[in-house]
Structures are given as C-alpha cells and as structure tokens.
Structure 1
Amino acid sequence: MKLRGAAVIITGASSGIGAATAVRFAREGARLALCARRFDRLQQVAERCRAVGATEVVLRKADVGRPSDARAFVNVALQHFERIDVLVNNAGRGWRGPLQQMPQEEVTELVSSNLLGCIWTIQAALPIMFETRSGVIINVASVVGFRAAPYSAVYSASKHALAGLGHALRGELSGSGVKVCTVYPGTTDTEFFGDHKPDGPLVQSADSVAKSIVRNARRPRRDVIMLPYRAGHLAEPLLGGLLDHALGEMRRNHHPEYRV
C-alpha cells in the first residue's frame, strides 16, 4: 500500500503508541483521523503531525467504548476522506492489582475500551472497506494476549480476546480485500505504567511499536510480536523465561509483600 495520501484512522491517539503511530503515518504523508478522550492532548498530537507532513488531520473527542462515539468517529472520518485505507485500533486502558479488589466499574470500562471499542469501530468501518474491497485493520494487543500476567487478569483477558477477534476476522474477511493484523507489543515506555516507569532490556519505545504498525499497513502480516529485537519467531519461548522474570519484578514493585 502507498501511504502518501492514504486515509488512516487511529483510536486512542492522544499519547503513547497511538500518538507515535499518528506521527509515523504523518511522516509518510497520510491523511489522518484521530480520536481520544483527552481532546487537548489530541490537539497537541495533531500539531506534531501537521509539522512533519500530514496533509490533513481530522480530530474527534470520543470514547470508543461507547458504540455511538465509535460510529460517530468513523462517520466523521468518512465525511472527509470517503474511504478508510488503514484502521488502527489502539485505544485502551489498564488496571493492576488482585482481581478480587478490582471495582466493577473498572472491569466494565476496561473491557469496553480494550475490546468492545475495537469491535464497534471495526463494525462501523467494514461497510466502506467492503465497498472499496480494500483496507487494513490493525489491532494493538499485547504480549499478555498470549502470556497472561498476574495482577492484570482482566487486562490480559481483553488482550487474549483481541487475539481471537483477529484470528476469526481473517477467516470471515478472506477474499474481501480487507486485511487484519494483530500487533503484540512487549513492555513499552508509555504513560500506561503511571509512576512505575518500566526499565530493563525488554522495554521498548512507543516509536518502535509505531514503526512496526506502519510497516504492517504497507505490507500486512497476520501476527506481529514486538520485542526490542527482531526475533518474532523466538518470542514465545523466550517469554517463558525472560518475560516471567520481568513480570516478577513488576509484581514485587507493585506488591512488596509478593514473592516470586
């Protein structure tokens, strides 16, 4: 796919991987539609995108966990672009702690943002993709989507669900011209961790994940496991040891009484 002039829509674009992905597509000369809950932050990202080459940037304040917001965002993008070449489902949230202590409203909001928001946005975008018989859907999951992390039970479950959603959609959309990719970032240096800033050899930058997303928009692959080095086919065996050690450190930092 040629990305110059392509219509790219990104959810959760106000910070982290979403913001870095928007800037990466902007450098390719893409037209962008961006949404997030924090509109002030979104405006700052839009300024960066315009400065590096985006030919058009459309903004929408939206919580894609709400079906009406997801549909409205896609409709606004279509009013400007009349097609969707790339849909990046990045919006999401996290929560860490024992499952038994997770408030009901946190469970609902996390699943709505991480999984249902992705579903609503895809449902809204598919009709135009079917009409043009083209388009790439990229869902941003996580390595915990195949290797769950204690104290992140619901978050892990939501990312497992994204993996299943991607696998099923590939079968449904076979022959339609629409491609589906799932990207599994490892530990990424973003605001996701709050005051517990991640460090160590497995930590990667948001920009490195963004570069992988842009590469997949250009040449779609099915599943892309993102680690700080290019060894995707070795990722799962390595995660059995290295990532378990990293998760152990995170557990100790978050729950000092926990012992691996």
Structure 2
Amino acid sequence: MSQLTGKTAIVTGASGGIGEGIAVELASEGANVVLAARRTEKLANVEEQIKKQGNDNVLSVQTDISNQDDVEQLIKKAEEKFGQVDILVNNAGQVLSGPVRSGKVDEWEKMIDTNIKGTLYAIDGVLPAMVERATGHIINIASVSGFEVTKKSTVYSATKYAVRAISAGLEKELAKTGVRVTNISPGMVDTTLGGRTPWPEDREKLKTKDIARAVVYAVTQPDYVNVNEITVRPV
C-alpha cells in the first residue's frame, strides 16, 4: 500500500513547476490530490498526468489564492469531494520585481497578496477542522530568498521571510495539538520562473521532484515527529 493512501492533500500553485511536481509525487504515494491554481487549462494537464499514473482521486479547482472567497470555495469543494483535508501545501507564489527603488507598487502588492495573505487564507481555511481532529499537516513552501536578500530581491525576500515567520510561529501555536507544520525553502529549481534568473552553466539546478520528495518525507513521518524546517539547495 502507498504511504498516503486515504489522505487528502490540497496543493496550491499546482498548474506547473514545483506545485505540479509536488502534486504528482503525492498522488504517486496514493493521496487524493486537490489541484488549485488560476490556469484551468494547465490544471487539466496536471490532472490528466496524475490519472495516467493510475490515481483517479484528483480534483482541479480554479483558485486565485489571493482571494479569500476563492480559497474558502477551494476548501469546501475539497471537503465535499474527499471528506476532509489532511495536508495543505501552500506553494502558490509570485516572483516579480523585488527592489524597493523600482517603485513597482502593483508588483509588490501582488507578491504580498499571494505569498503572504494567500498562505494565511489557506491556513485559516483548513486549520479549525485539523485542530478539532487533532491531526493534519501544513507545508509552507518558502525560499532560500527568505534567508538571503539581494539588491534585486528586497520585497520578494521580505515575503518569503514572512512565510518562514508564519511557519515558525504557527508551529509554536499548534504544539501538542497533533497538527504539524513544515517550512520548506528551495534553492534554484529548474522551472519556467527559475529560467529567468542568471545561473552558471556548470552548476545543476534542482528538479521539482527534489522538492516534492522533501514534502513526502515530511508528511510520512510518524505522528510524533514534526519536521519543522527543510532547506534544499543545489550542490
């Protein structure tokens, strides 16, 4: 039997990149997977990929994670389909212009709304039921940019610092409740977004599967084990 058979996971930002990789990996371990993103066509492609590997327990829900009503509908549909949400993977994120001197307030707001508020909306949506059941797992995908700031990443890094702070604080809030929290900070991953960043040709980027494996590692530990922080970097 697969490790996550009978468990239901919501993965935000699941239409491509890291989110797609996480969703496919969780499904391969037997989980019921709820795919959330704005791009329905790409969600359909990921859903078909999961079904082709033999897991029909997948649901796609068009979701703007920065819209609280959308997030509430996402969780409602997940519960209607599968009964309860056991795992939340907060992966959706915006990577836009980071410098404060750029003056791109609209881009800052998009990153804050998605990376911070979207994370909080999703947590708020699943947490009461998890606490009531005394079980559940929240995975927040941060970034190594939440540890290190460059002159081009000020605002983006600030949002990922915030995700790390939310993870650390939430873990303390939920101590002894049975609900676990894991923060995962990827380094450079070979995705469409990662392709925009200069990178040495002789240094291999991470694969989305590397991050997905970290998620599976965290959520398959015994109930008494809480893996709080994982940082995954290229060699």
TM-score, normalised relative to structure 1: 0.84
> Given that residues 22 and 32 in structure 1 are in contact (C-alpha distance below 8 angstroms), is that contact kept between their aligned partners in structure 2?
yes
In 2, Cα distance between the equivalents of 1:132 and 1:97?
Answer: 40
What secondary structure, in the 3-state scheme, does the structure 2 residue paired with 1:189 have? coil
In 1, Cα distance between the equivalents of 2:74 and 2:62?
Answer: 8
Q: Structure 1 stretches (4+) deviating beyond 3 angstroms?
A: 193-200
Task: Pick from 214, 217, 220 the counterpart of residue 218 of structure 1.
Answer: 220
1:124-163 residue pairs with structure 2 within 5 A? 124-163=125-164
Q: CA deviation at 1:227?
A: 1.6
Change in 2 beyond 3 A, CA 1:66/1:200: farther
- State which drifts further: 88-97 or 19-28: 88-97
Equivalence for 2:55:
54
1:73 aligned partner, one-letter code:
L
What secondary structure, in the 3-state scheme, does the structure 1 residue paired with 2:23 have? helix
> Given that residues 98 and 108 in structure 2 are in contact (C-alpha distance below 8 angstroms), is that contact kept between their aligned partners in structure 1?
no
Taking only the aligned residue pairs, the percentage that are identical comes to 33
- Which structure: larger Rg? 1
Change in 2 beyond 3 A, CA 1:131/1:200: farther
> Given that residues 204 and 228 in structure 1 are in contact (C-alpha distance below 8 angstroms), is that contact kept between their aligned partners in structure 2?
yes
Equivalence for 2:39:
38
In 2, Cα distance between the equivalents of 1:120 and 1:97?
Answer: 23
Equivalence for 2:85:
84
In 2, Cα distance between the equivalents of 1:66 and 1:22?
Answer: 22
In 2, Cα distance between the equivalents of 1:179 and 1:55?
Answer: 27
Higher helix share: 1
Q: CA deviation at 1:55?
A: 3.6
Change in 2 beyond 3 A, CA 1:227/1:97: closer
Q: CA deviation at 1:150?
A: 2.0
2:55 aligned partner, one-letter code:
A
Q: CA deviation at 1:81?
A: 1.5
In 2, Cα distance between the equivalents of 1:71 and 1:200?
Answer: 45
Q: Which runs of 5+ in 2 are unaligned?
A: none
Q: CA deviation at 1:75?
A: 1.1
Change in 2 beyond 3 A, CA 1:97/1:11: closer
In 1, Cα distance between the equivalents of 2:112 and 2:12?
Answer: 15
In 2, Cα distance between the equivalents of 1:197 and 1:56?
Answer: 39
TM-score, normalised relative to structure 2: 0.92
> Given that residues 28 and 53 in structure 1 are in contact (C-alpha distance below 8 angstroms), is that contact kept between their aligned partners in structure 2?
no
Change in 2 beyond 3 A, CA 1:225/1:115: same
Q: CA deviation at 1:203?
A: 1.9
How many pairs does the alignment contain? 229
